Amino acid sequence: MVLRELAWGWFGWGGKTMMRGVGDGNPYLVNPRWAVAERVGTAVRRRYPADVWSVGVHGSLAHGDDTETSGVEMIVVTYRPGGGPRTVSRRIDDVLVRVRVVGADDYLHEARVLSPLWPLAADRYVTTRAVHDPDGWLRRLRDTHLGRLAQARPPEFTALAREAWASAAEAHTRAVRLAEWYETDAALLLLGEVRLHAAMVTGLLSRTYFRNSADAVRKTGFAGLDMTDLGRVLRELETELAGRGRAVDATPETMFDV
């Protein structure tokens, strides 16, 4: 998704609870993953009634294109840091459920931070469906992130892209060395890192965010590239960064210039 699309289609639907219980005609309860999310949300609220402010889902379930093999990615927002349960992953009724627990202030702070991994982080701030959100807190999260993006100027994204490029280049150099030493399995793992970081560069330069790592390398066309092709891509990205005033090479005196 490009940046301009962030302002469209918030999936929290006004921040109100979407899952209301069996028997009320709610179509989302037909989906077994939504049913699991509702049960988890109910359980955490009952067990930690004084701590839980908001509960939501992101990922494929929030986008409405989950399948039978999809897991459930949940966020539990607490009133204060350290409140409520701990972050946990479990399998419930053959559905893998990952629950992240975070304090409200900490999560809002994260939403204001732009990093070299922004293309992977943005979706969870923007596309979250509410399981329990009576005060519309998830809308506040979304607006906080959009406000931060509105303040960011192109040179800031380009500087972040330069950092992502450095990570990609380092992984590529290591992968080449391992391949020369016939450490094929390790080299292949590093190639995955190269593809992902290169995708981050592309996402940052175009202000495009992705659903997840697989989505990032697929949409950028890097998924099937081999060592040689990735080297070519890195050289092209290096040239583009230099053209935007963020060259990857520096001197000790200039390396801290942003």
Task: Using pLDDT thresholds of 50, 70 and 90, give the confidence band for residue 181.
Answer: very high
Q: Say which residue the tokens 């016939």 belong to.
A: 182
Of 89, 56, 75, 63, nearest to 9 by C-alpha is 63
CA dist., res. 31 & res. 66, Å (int)? 9
Task: Using pLDDT thresholds of 50, 70 and 90, give the confidence band for residue 117.
Answer: very high
| Coil vs helix vs strand at 193 | helix
Looking at residue 23, what is its pLDDT?
36
Instruction: Return mean pLDDT, the chain.
Output: 90
Q: Say which residue the tokens 């399995």 belong to.
A: 185
For residue 13, pLDDT over 70 is answered with no
pLDDT tens, residue by residue, 194-238: 999 999 999 999 999 999 999 999 999 999 999 999 999 999 999
For residue 22, pLDDT over 70 is answered with no
Looking at residue 9, what is its pLDDT?
39
Task: Using pLDDT thresholds of 50, 70 and 90, give the confidence band for residue 55.
Answer: very high
Looking at residue 30, what is its pLDDT?
78
Contact at 8 Å (CB) between 93 and 32?
yes
Architecture of domain 3-151: 2-Layer Sandwich (3.30)
Looking at residue 257, what is its pLDDT?
83
pLDDT tens, residue by residue, 90-99: 999 999 999 9
Burial 73-111 (b: 16+ CB within 10 A, else e): bbbbbbeeeebbeeeeeeebeebebebbbbbbeebbebb
Give whole-number Cα distances, 244 to 25, 161, 221, 232, in Å: 54, 11, 22, 19
Show me where the domains of the chain are located. Answer: 3-151, 154-243
Average pLDDT over residues 16-31: 48
| Coil vs helix vs strand at 177 | helix
Looking at residue 29, what is its pLDDT?
54
